[in-house]
Amino acid sequence: MKKIIPILFVVFLIYGFTNKEEILIPDYAIRFRVIANSNSIEDQTLKLEVKNSLENELNKLMIQAKNSEEAKKLIEENIKNIRNTVNKYTQNNTVSFGKNYFPEKEYQGVKYPSGEYNSLVVTLGNGIGNNWWCVMFPPLCLLEAKEEETEDINYSFYVKDTLSKYFS
């Protein structure tokens, strides 16, 4: 009996860690990424300032889109405004909209595989610093802010719910 309890405990631990439902972001989602010039405090601060400003602007656009084709069109129509917003912070930048490479990431049970994705990528300076990114459409970028405000948010449930809203 004494041996069974530790064995059951290990089985439950393994089951708990391996039985997570995997949510994959669809290929037709649109990502948003800001890459810092370097990892200096100044460059990372600038990255967050650019990210916050663009995130505000992009969220207003993405709310209007009913599907990814509309979202792409809105981004293309507003690319000049996006570049102007970035230029307010630094002239040394590159703004790219189209297929761009993203490394793999897993965040709170949601897997974001590496690959080439439709995305808006803002590279500041040399672009060798840490980056920030999110899924811009469907609008999942605001999850970080919502999560800070509400501790009971279930990230994977919210992602699944948002994806089904736009892609079912």
- Angstrom distance (rounded) from CA 98 to CA 23: 24
Taken as a whole, the chain contains a residue count of: 168
Could you tell me if 99 and 82 are in contact, meaning their C-beta atoms sit under 8 angstroms apart? no
Could you tell me if 56 and 130 are in contact, meaning their C-beta atoms sit under 8 angstroms apart? no
Confidence of residue 153 (pLDDT cuts 50, 70, 90): very low
Q: CA nearest 120: which of 51, 32, 29?
A: 32
* 64 has pLDDT over 60: yes
* 10 has pLDDT over 60: no
Least-confidence region, from 5-19, 104-118, 146-160: 5-19
Angle between helices 41-62 and 79-87 (to 10 degrees): 150
**DSSP characters for 27-52?**
TT-EEEEEE-S-SSHHHHHHHHHHHH
Highest mean pLDDT among 10-24, 44-58, 137-151: 44-58
- Higher confidence at residue 97 or residue 135? 97
Handedness of CA 125, 73, 78, 53 (dihedral sign): negative
Q: In this predicted structure, what is the pLDDT of residue 41?
A: 97
Instruction: For residue 164, give both structure tokens.
Output: 């089904």
State pTM to two decimals.
0.74
